[in-house]
Amino acid sequence: MTAPVIGRGEARALDEEDELAAFRGRFVIDEAAPLYFDGNSLGRLPRSTPARLLQVVEEEWGRGLVGSWSFWMDRPRVVGDFLAEHLLGAGAGEVVVGDSTTVNFYKLVVAALEARPDRRVIVTDETNFPSDRYVLQGLAEQRGLELRLTTGDPGPAEIAAAVAGGDVALVTLSHVSFHSGAMLDLPAITAAAHAGRALILWDLSHAVGAVPVRLEEDGVDLAVGCAYKYLNGGPGAPAFTYVRRGLQEQLRQPIWGWFGAADQFAMGPNYRPAPGIDRFSVGTPPIVGLASVEEGAAMVAEAGVDRVRRKSLDLTDLAIGLFDEWLAPLGAELVTPRAIERRGSHLSFRHPDAWPICRALIENHRVVPDFREPDVLRFGFAPLYTRFVDAWDAIDRLREVLARREYEAFSSERSRVT
């Protein structure tokens, strides 16, 4: 399953053969800066984005002013259709872009609960992303619902068991776990949820732009995801919402804003939801952010998700090979599953001193991973700009930190942002 350990020269040779190598030059990269392994948290800036933003700001806003609303109005759906076609395996009119992932998640959870009024249980995993768990906790408390937790990256059997009682309205999980890097079996879990007549909502934040997603083929009901990780849309970029076409008219979301209303500019006395995906919009769309999402996503689409995925697996294979050879004997544990069909595009390593190790990598070795409580070090391998030699160097430097116990010189006290 894992590649044999290779030398640095061989890693360089892999870069020479890499069919995606040229994409690196299309990002703003300071070659003197530390090696960056946080593209799964905040993707890099595409070189084309600043000019595009300047055009939106100076021409569309500066000169066009309110006249630009004639085409701005369609932007959330235009960018949504692009994501649907190239990155999500969905149809036109099934995806809209706007608001944050957390807000979109809230809207879809409430819509799902109201579509299953006789059911009082929501299923998620105890390791799911905190914002998702907190939204669910809030709704469970406000509505007197039960939040049923699976433990640690469930498979279809755990989900089948969780929905067996016929009381589950909604199952919601992350396709790729932010914590472990595990990729869940989306098609089989979707089928298991449906067998219990529950709706399913996937959070694709750590999946979109890194692994192939086929929402339509897999019969997914609902999905949300983030555009500032592997899509390189920039900090706080607007997020996407997917609702299967056949469900759209049955669902109502809880925030009745004018951008989700039918006949918006009639400004009538009462809210009526717009037909189709538009009803999941709320207020005035973030036009500047939509442009940067489009720039970032267009580059991933140009590379092609299947090629991105192949390189991602080659990068993580290389890192896992080096891990087994060098790091396992020094007390680190690989948390991410080894099976390629269960692995996303970042690797998580467990070590009791993960936080000071993270600090030592940044301060002493100019390698930027990140840390997640309580003891996990994450390395994101964003395939469009991460080289094989970067992966080799990062694991080599981690080996030095562990072998020389460099982390003992760093405090275990956490900083505000980890």
Ligand X SMILES: *Cc1c(COP(=O)(O)O)cnc(C)c1O
Tell me how far, at minimum, the Cβ of 104 lies from ligand X, in Å.
8
Q: Which of 221, 308, 324 is nearest to 4 (CA)?
A: 324
Stretch that binds ligand X, among 96-104, 180-188, 190-198, 380-388 (CB under 6 A): 96-104
Residue 392, by phi and psi: left (phi above 0), alpha (psi -120 to 50) or beta?
alpha
Q: Does 353 bind ligand X (CB under 6 A)?
A: no
Minimum CB separation of residue 380 from ligand X in Å reads 11
Q: How far apart are CA 39 and CA 44, in angstroms?
A: 7
Given candidates 14, 75, 100, 296, which one binds ligand X under the rule CB under 6 A?
100
Gap between the Cα atoms of 415 and 392, Å rounded: 28
**In angstroms, what is the minimal distance from the CB of 372 to ligand X?**
11
Parallel/antiparallel/unpaired status of strands 35-36 and 367-368: parallel
Among 178, 242, 280, 407, binds ligand X (CB under 6 A): 178
When the beta carbons of 212 and 352 are compared against ligand X, the nearer one is 212
- The partner residues of 36 in beta bridges, in order of sequence, read 368
- Which residue type occupies 183? M
> Total residues contacting ligand X (rule CB under 6 A)?
13
Q: Contact 277/246 with Cβ under 8 angstroms?
A: no
Q: State which residue, 38 or 317, has the beta carbon closest to ligand X.
A: 38
202 near ligand X, rule: CB under 6 A: no
Residue the block writes with tokens 């069919």: 19
Return the residue matching tokens 């090979």.
Answer: 321
The reply on whether position 203 binds ligand X by CB under 6 A is yes
Distance in Å, CB of 14 to ligand X, minimum:
28
Give CA–CA dist 76/83, Å, rounded. 11
CB nearer to ligand X: pick between 206 and 399 = 206
Instruction: Read off φ and ψ for residue 100, nearest 5 degrees.
Output: -90, 165
Rule CB under 6 A: is residue 406 a binding residue for ligand X?
Answer: no
Measured in whole angstroms, the distance separating CA 358 from the mean position of its chain's CA atoms is 22
* Torsion angle in degrees (nearest 10) through CA of 247, 294, 215, 114: -30
* Distance in Å, CB of 208 to ligand X, minimum: 10
Do the beta carbons of residue 336 and residue 343 sit within 8 Å?
A: yes
Residue 172 as a binder of ligand X (CB under 6 A): the answer is no
Name 224's Cβ contacts closer than 8 Å, sequence gap at least 6. 101, 104, 105, 108, 201, 202, 203, 204, 205, 239, 240, 241, 242
CB of 243 to ligand X, least distance (A): 17
First to last CA, the chain: 32
Separation CA 349–CA 248 (nearest Å): 41
Beta-carbon-side half-sphere exposure of residue 123 (alpha carbons within 13 Å): 32
The reply on whether position 206 binds ligand X by CB under 6 A is: yes
Separation CA 25–CA 40 (nearest Å):
19
What is the closest distance, in whole angstroms, from the C-beta atom of residue 205 to ligand X in the complex?
3
Residue list 112-171, contact with ligand X (CB under 6 A)? 129, 131-132
Residue whose CB is less far from ligand X, 178 or 407: 178
Near ligand X by CB under 6 A: residue from 205, 241, 292, 336: 205
Using rule CB under 6 A, residue 49 touches ligand X: no
Nearer to ligand X (CB atom), residue 136 or residue 320: 136
Give the one residue of 56, 226, 251, 327 binding ligand X; rule: CB under 6 A: 226
> Among all residues, which ones are annotated catalytic?
129, 203, 228-229, 378
Q: Is 292 among the residues that bind ligand X (CB under 6 A)? A: no
* For ligand X, the closer CB: 162 or 231: 231
Q: Out of 172, 174, 180, 241, which residue is the one contacting ligand X (CB under 6 A)?
A: 174
Closer to ligand X by CB, 11 or 83: give it: 83
Residues that bind ligand X (CB under 6 A): 100-102, 129, 131-132, 174, 178, 203, 205-206, 226, 239
